[in-house]
Amino acid sequence: MNQPSQMVLAKALGQAMRAALAADEKVVLMGEDIGPLGGVFRVTDGLQAEFGTDRVVDTPLAESGIVGTAIGLALRGYRPVVEIQFDGFVFPAFDQITTQLAKLHSRSRGRLRVPVVIRIPFGGGIGAVEHHSESPEALFAHTAGLRVVSPANPADAYVMLQEAISSDDPVIFLEPKGQYWTKGDVDLAAGPYGSAAVAGPAVTQRFDTLNKARIAREGDDVTLIAYGPSVATALKAAAAAETEGTSIEVVDLRAISPFDMATVNSSVAKTGRAIVVHEAPVFFGAGGELAARITEECFYELEAPVLRVGGFHAPYPPAKIEHEYLPGLDRVLDAVDRSLSF
């Protein structure tokens, strides 16, 4: 059995792409500054030197052109992995993603597949300037034909990115930039390309991380449902609540669209209370869809209304006050108290 390696989330993503590039010659990476620089967050560090400029392609600053080229390559049998430098820069490519990438499979009645992965660092908490801390997941989740996923720890980042690359569906892969330097254990033999990353027997285990949520912490009194960067906040809230005798279960959704309703329902049926936590604005956000589904499917198990904690319906603020906008520990714990008071 392979021993897990300790690494940060950004490094785990790079290792996932290294394994995919080694295992499948049809995998190509594209993006601005992903070559010698290794990407603005150094996620692709060293990959161009190892696999060449034909497979790790530094592109012009033209997001729509990058995604359009990726669609063409996918139709010719390649598996492009696109990097968008920051969340707020994806919108020039929004037309290509929503009107072409998301629809080609359905429009061709299944004859065309477009296995494109679009990696987007998303979320706040790093003190960045305007357009660098957006949470656009609801915009993509509302578009049928796209998978929208986000890992919350290095182990999931490693396996989920491999599974996204090996998927025949287009995947919006949201990377929680505030968690890039979070360290954790990673099994380099895991995932569909993992055997190409280490010397040893191939691993045949399927993780199904694009379809299956995980219970990040077990509890009995309240269920916190989160994804990406908000999982860390939910776990901190659960640890704080435990000191006051409240047992909180944390569901890491992993996939935002489609999401694993069975795991959510099972947890809510156990605790009777649900709170959705995300950084994006609550107004018309992913939490609204989750709250509606929980209410429809768990109505007779609920002891309190489903609550949501997230960003405000306002443009993302300047870095100095972003902590007022992001759902922090106090706002999550306040929601826990409100839920328990019903």
d(CA 122, CA 173): 9
Residue 146 inside a domain? The answer is yes
Question: Which residue range forms the structural domain that includes residue 108?
Answer: 5-186
Q: Which DSSP string do the residues of 18-59 spell out, in sequence order?
A: HHHHHH-TTEEEEETT-STT--TTSTTTTHHHHH-TTTEEE-
Residue 296 inside a domain? The answer is yes
CATH code for the domain of 313: 3.40.50.920
Whether residue 247 sits in one domain with residue 181 = no
Residue 42 inside a domain? The answer is yes
168 by Cβ neighbours in 10 Å (0-12 / 13-18 / 19+) ranks as: exposed
Residue 64 inside a domain? The answer is yes
What type of residue is 214? R
Whether residue 180 sits in one domain with residue 284 = no
d(CA 86, CA 78): 24
Whether residue 226 sits in one domain with residue 174 = no
User: CA–CA distance from 127 to each of 53, 177, 318 (Å)?
Assistant: 33, 11, 8
Whether residue 67 sits in one domain with residue 137 = yes
Number of domains observed in the structure of the chain: 2
d(CA 96, CA 67): 7
Residue 10 inside a domain? The answer is yes
> Which residue has tokens 């649900």?
274
Residue 195 inside a domain? The answer is no
Mean pLDDT by 10-residue block, N- to C-terminus, for the chain (342 residues)?
Answer: 85 97 97 96 97 97 96 98 94 96 95 96 90 94 97 97 96 97 95 78 64 97 98 98 97 97 98 98 97 97 98 94 93 98 94
CATH code for the domain of 60: 3.40.50.970
- Give per-residue pLDDT as tens, 47-56: 999 999 999 9
Predicted pLDDT of residue 76: 96
Residue 65 inside a domain? The answer is yes
Whether residue 126 sits in one domain with residue 176 = yes
DSSP label at residue 177? G
Whether residue 317 sits in one domain with residue 234 = yes
Predicted pLDDT of residue 199: 59
Whether residue 236 sits in one domain with residue 90 = no
Whether residue 160 sits in one domain with residue 78 = yes
Whether residue 110 sits in one domain with residue 31 = yes
Predicted pLDDT of residue 197: 74
- Residues catalogued as catalytic: 132
Whether residue 333 sits in one domain with residue 273 = yes
Q: CB-side exposure of 187: number of CA atoms within 13 Å?
A: 16
Residue 22 inside a domain? The answer is yes
**Residue 58 forms beta bridges with which residues?**
31
Q: Work out the angle at residue 277's Cα, subtended by the Cα atoms of residues 274 and 279, and round it to the nearest 5 degrees.
A: 165
